[in-house]
Amino acid sequence: MPSESPGRDLGQEFRDLEDLVQQLRQSLDELREIQDLARTIRSSVSPDEILEGLSAMLRHILPDPQLGLFLITGEEFTAVGDPSLALRAALHTLHEDGITSWVLEERRPIFVPRLDGMEADQSDLLVPLIVMSTGIGVLLVRSRQHEEELTSHQLDLLSFASGQAALALENSRLVSVLEESRRQLQDMIDNAVDLILLVDEEGRITYANARTEALDEPRERLVGRCLADFVPDPALGRQLTEEIRRGARSLKEVLLRNPVHPPERLITAQLSFTPLGTNYPGNSVCMIILRDLSEQRRLEEQAREAESLKAVMLAAVTVNHEINNPLTAIVGNLFLLKRELGQSATPEMLQRIELAERSAQQIQDVAHKLEQVSAVRRVRYLGDTDMLDIEPHAPVDGDLEEDEA
């Protein structure tokens, strides 16, 4: 009998070793699953997905856990997902009693008393969510694990799980902030007064904001077109493309037109060239801000026309004032001269008097027409000399016109 005892001990040890190996394998498998869940949580930007992954991790650590994830919002906590009303009430009480602040200062999981006095077989564990030494929230876990039963290994896993969730939630917040900033920036760019273009080294448009009215094309049809296509002067188009390649900052005023529209539809545009850094979409190397100056130039021309017309009207008033008085005297004296001559006037005398009267009348007509001028139009007089056209015209949509006399 004694000789059989060592054999039985060896067999028992072997079985114990097999059990231990099996336990280690199970622990490794569980650890791998926890690591996979942690990786899933870290890669998530959706708070709901983060909460789901955290719940799966806690089921590997505690028996039948119920959890509530709460983030700090100002002086209060905001729930992630939809925790139970019991957990919401418990967190509210803990916050009112200052326990959440204490846990965040301690930076470690802490058992907290059940304040509702129900379900004594369950206990609450409050876990801080810390990112870069800053508390961003807490994790409230309710389970059948009591304080005296919790192992250091479980505490480490709880801290690890909450840390992964905290990082993921902070990343989610940053992604939301960046997305909102991107949306606001996009709105600002789309609602900008000017057309904003990105172009590559060949001057090919890679991006356009919504202000494409100047080129009479929707932006989806502008992308892929070359800026030089809109420049009527081919030499100038090549020059602009070369400046884009050189990465020069410049400001130019050019005439542009959409080649699918009639050639006479030209716009005056100011182009501001700004070279870009690397890693822009579509190999963009330059940003061009296109400002349509056509309306501005039209208003400037109207202002010049108004000033010219004002000068003409001043001249008309001056002419009428300075000419009408002596002209009236001339016409009156011619009338008196003709009456005094009476029957003694020869035909040649009467002819000369009538010629003088007609000339005086023409002077009066010119002065009157000058007063009626409503637009400044020039006509060619002799050689390169222009003069004011005072003949009446139908209303013309334009400021200054030139006609051949």
Reported as a single tens digit per residue, the pLDDT across 134-143 is 999 999 999 9
pLDDT band at 340 (very low <50, low <70, confident <90, very high): confident
pLDDT band at 404 (very low <50, low <70, confident <90, very high): very low
pLDDT, tens digit (0-9, with 9 covering 90-100), for 343-355: 887 888 888 888 8
Residue 87 near residue 66, CB atoms below 8 Å: yes
In a domain, 5, yes or no: no
Q: Which residue has the higher pLDDT, 305 or 109?
A: 109
Q: Give yes or no: residues 287 and 308 share one domain.
A: no
Distances (CA, A) of 185 to 85, 211, 227, 278, 288: 40, 15, 24, 20, 17
Three-state secondary structure of 165-232: HHHHHHHHHHHHHHHHHHHHHHHHHHCCCCEEEEECCCCEEEEECCCCHHHCCCHHHHCCCEHHHHCC
Structure tokens that stand for 296 in this block: 């501005």
Residue 313 belongs to domain spanning: 297-404
In a domain, 9, yes or no: no
Q: Which residue has the higher pLDDT, 10 or 247?
A: 247
% the chain with pLDDT above 90: 23
CA distance 223 to 204: 8
Structure tokens that stand for 313 in this block: 């009207």
The domain spanning residue 66 has which CATH number?
A: 3.30.450.40
Residue 148 near residue 99, CB atoms below 8 Å: no
Question: For all residues of the chain together, what is the average pLDDT?
Answer: 81
pLDDT band at 402 (very low <50, low <70, confident <90, very high): very low
Could you identify the residue written with the tokens 């600002």?
A: 188
Q: Give yes or no: residues 122 and 58 share one domain.
A: yes
Q: Give yes or no: residues 171 and 34 share one domain.
A: yes
Structure tokens that stand for 100 in this block: 């959440």
Q: Give yes or no: residues 288 and 166 share one domain.
A: no
Domain boundary among 265, 292, 319: 292
Domain boundary among 180, 202, 221: 180
The domain spanning residue 270 has which CATH number?
A: 3.30.450.20
Q: Quick one: pLDDT at residue 398?
A: 44
In a domain, 6, yes or no: no
CA distance 244 to 393: 48
Q: Give yes or no: residues 120 and 246 share one domain.
A: no
pLDDT, tens digit (0-9, with 9 covering 90-100), for 255-291: 888 776 666 678 888 999 999 877 777 788 999 999 9
Domain boundary among 180, 208, 243: 180
Q: Which residue has the higher pLDDT, 118 or 48?
A: 48
- Residue 90 burial class via C-beta count within 10 angstroms: exposed 0-12, middle 13-18, buried 19 and up: buried
In a domain, 278, yes or no: yes
CA distance 393 to 178: 62
Q: How many domains does the chain have?
A: 3
Which letter does DSSP use for residue 60 in this model?
T
For strands 76-80 and 110-112, give the pairing: unpaired
Mean pLDDT of 105-125: 79
Structure tokens that stand for 227 in this block: 């800026």
Q: Give yes or no: residues 32 and 170 share one domain.
A: yes
pLDDT band at 356 (very low <50, low <70, confident <90, very high): confident
